[in-house]
Chains A and B, each alone.
Chain A
Amino acid sequence: MTESEHQVAAGAPAPSDEPEAGRPRRRLRPGDFVLGMLARGSAAGVVLMLVALVSVLVYSALPSLRAFGPSFLTSSDWRPNELERPVRGPDGKVVIEDGEVVTETIPPSFGALPVIYGTTVSSVLALAFAVPLSLGTALFIVRVAPRLRIAGPVSFLVEFLASIPSIAYGIWGLFVLAPFLQNHFEPTIATAARHIPGLGWMLSETVNVGGHAVDRPVPLTGRDMLCGGMILAIMILPIITAVSRDVLRNVPRGQIEGTLALGATWWQSCRGMLRYSRSGLFGAVMLGLARAAGETMAVTMVIGNNNQIAPSPFAPAQTMSSLLANEFAEASSDLHRAALLEVALVLLVMSLGFNMLARWLVVGGGSRTAAAQ
């Protein structure tokens, strides 16, 4: 999809909107001038803000960018304190010179892999829970509810979910969802998984104990990756539902009637509808993903805040935004602060990527279908 196609698609039905050439130029009134300048100023201000945000982030993250380079994205060490430990020789024994143990100081080290993993997995989990629910709701609103005259109330309730503050979801997650998962849901799943071969990874974690990797069962705490994913799912439901509802409404009536006229069952016609608007729906999902990746407070409260990469959904984890919420206010050194800002930069780039992809799919997809008519 190119820009010119886009313009043609948008401009074709209403050519009368084009300004007439050679029309005498009206005298500019003071009010027009002020409003025009205000509008230009506001637009420039918004762009400037984004540019300032990115440049300040990059500038502040420079010490960390310089210190760790690309290994920042692949290292899983996140240790803000210096370590002083005895030097060990090739034989694994402590080196002793002049009767004293030789020690080495290991500087702080920062790597973002665990939080990139945490953000990715919790967001994907959220999508796995939210997408079927959202698409089902959207389909219900577009195809079923109008006949029952409840499309309005259902839409309103779904959008109402979006207006609940994040912290409220967090408190609910901490005091209701997490204890429920810990006491009822997770023990049941764990008991079932024990009898199914190949699911052992869900129940054990590898812990680095004094330099040795030890496998042990995951304590079921309820505050873990699973709980984080579930809370995120509830939070991204409204946006995915609202956007997919609008995308589905834009499916031309002729298309639906056509499928029905060809003898499609209700289900087959719905499937046709979903297939027809798949790129728009995918965009809706991407918008949800972007929201999930950036969500902070609620996740911080329920995900367990442990910077580790554990395959088990019952192990505590950490996302990029929860790491920032936890550590930024009391960052222990300039390098620590810079590393946190670099995490923010990575998060910004990731969210920007999701949003651009979503925009391209929703807007581009929409005009593509319009152009096809």
Chain B
Amino acid sequence: MGWPVRAGRDQETLNVMKLIGTVARTAAVAGTMLVAAMAQADTRITGAGATFPAPLYKRWVVEFEKVAPNVKVDYNSIGSGGGVKAITDKTVAFAGSDAPLNKKEIDALGGEDKVVQVPSCAGGVVPAYNVPGVKEELKFTGDVLAQIFMGKISKWNDPALASLNPGVKLPDLAITPAWRTDGSGTTFVWTNYLATQSEDFKSSIGMGKQVQWPVGQGGKGNEGVTAVVQQTAGSIGYIESNYATANKIAFGSVKNYAGAFVKASPESISAAGAGAVGKFQGTVLSADIWSQPGDNAYPIASFTYLIVYKDLKNVKSVEEAQAVVHFLNWATTSGQTFAGQMDYAPLATPVQAKVAAALASITFQGKPVMMPGQH
């Protein structure tokens, strides 16, 4: 009860003093270590955005540290919308986005001449299906896919599907379309492609990161759609090509602009990207690469983009500015090797040249940014 007697109190005070001493010593040691770490001068740059290229970007981060050991890059895959918001708020050095910036977003960033947007790699969206008893790879056209996702074609043995796949015994089974419930670049590419193939689709469902699907089931993310497809006999869903390849999910080929049935692969998607090089203008590079000409071009493809301010006012020092430019240049040239390895489509050489030209325009406080070794 009450306060301890005097002797005990002294003892207690002594203990407290000891404790304070220990804490102080620990803090001092930690502080010294922190100062030592800072003296080694790691330059940290942060990016955020699209989830689709995130596995590739994370690989880039690891590989880039071998090229520039004193630079640490962080990439947070928070979604394209989040990335664009983060760069608008200047909380990151660069942003990733699956859809190119629209007019409103560019204005929020300060206008066309204040922004640099470059493609970093390309990806495809594939129709994955689950039709019991069908061993052959199915062929689709954009129009047939549009009709399936509008609910107009509702059975697998529909004449339209049968005539595309002669010799395949298609069952009398209901089709359950599977789609993304979250806003995503995948849906953006898929609906934009289908809208070019069907006027009806364009006016009744339309294009966007998220649309109102009349039939079928929703899944969250590629994994959600894949779960629906794998568990439901008769379902067909759209997923990213590299996700399908990595998880060994069967998918069909799609008729391209030239009239050939092409399966998605890094090569066929790169071929689609190569055709778009003429569309790149200025420093905000963007090009729609669905339904491109070329015998090998896969029709449901798109670039994913990296976005920075043209004048890097959102980074703190010239070292950080150099690190950003170095990383972007490395990623869009040497880094492209890893894209192919991870089933993303690398940028074609003419596209890389356009990207390099756009990146060369980046400045820090009005002065051009020199990369290490460029002095």
Point out residues on A near B: beta carbons under 8 Å: 77-86, 174, 178-179, 182, 207-211, 214, 216-217, 219, 221-223, 300, 304-307, 316, 318, 325-327, 329-332, 336
Contact = CB atoms under 8 A, between A and B. Distances in A.
A84 B206 contact: yes
Contacts of B203: 83-86
B231 A178 contact: yes
Nearest to A219: B174
Contacts of A329: 79, 82, 182
A207 B214 contact: yes
A316 B217 contact: yes
A304 B183 contact: no
Given A207-B215, A316-B217, A330-B182, 7 more contacts: A81-B191, A86-B203, A209-B152, A219-B175, A219-B234, A223-B217, A306-B217
B11 interface: no
Contacts of B218: 304-306, 316, 318, 326
Nearest to B216: A306
Chain B interface, >50% SS class: loop
A326 B151 contact: no
A77 B182 contact: no
Closest A-B pairs by Cβ, 8 of them? A81-B208, A305-B218, A85-B203, A330-B183, A326-B181, A219-B174, A79-B212, A83-B206
B208 A209 contact: no
Chain A interface, >50% SS class: mixed
A77 B174 CA distance: 25
Interface of B: 79-82, 150-152, 154, 174-176, 181-184, 191, 200, 202-220, 227-228, 231-232, 234-235
B151 A300 contact: no
B231 A222 contact: yes
A217 B154 CA distance: 10
A306 B203 CA distance: 21
Contact of A327 (B152, B183, B213): B183
Contacts of B212: 77-81, 307
B200 A210 contact: yes
A221 B217 contact: yes
A88 B204 CA distance: 13
B152 A80 contact: no
Contacts of B213: 306
Nearest to B207: A81
A330 B202 contact: no
A315 to B, nearest CB: 10
A305 B81 contact: no
A207 B147 CA distance: 13
B217 A332 contact: no
Nearest to A80: B210
23 contacts: A77-B212, A78-B212, A79-B212, A80-B211, A81-B208, A81-B210, A81-B212, A83-B205, A84-B206, A179-B231, A182-B232, A208-B151, A210-B200, A216-B154, A217-B174, A305-B219, A316-B217, A326-B181, A326-B218, A330-B79, A330-B81, A332-B208, A332-B210
Contacts of A86: 203
Given A82-B206, A305-B219, A330-B183, A221 B176 contact: yes
User: Which residue of A77, A178, A207, A318 has the most chain B CB atoms within 10 A of its CB atom?
Assistant: A207
A178 B231 CA distance: 9
A326 B182 contact: yes
Contacts of B207: 81
Contacts of B215: 207, 209
Contacts of B174: 216-217, 219
Given A85-B204, A216-B154, A332-B81, A80 B183 contact: yes
A357 B303 CA distance: 54
A210 B204 contact: yes
Given A84-B202, A214-B151, A325 B220 contact: yes
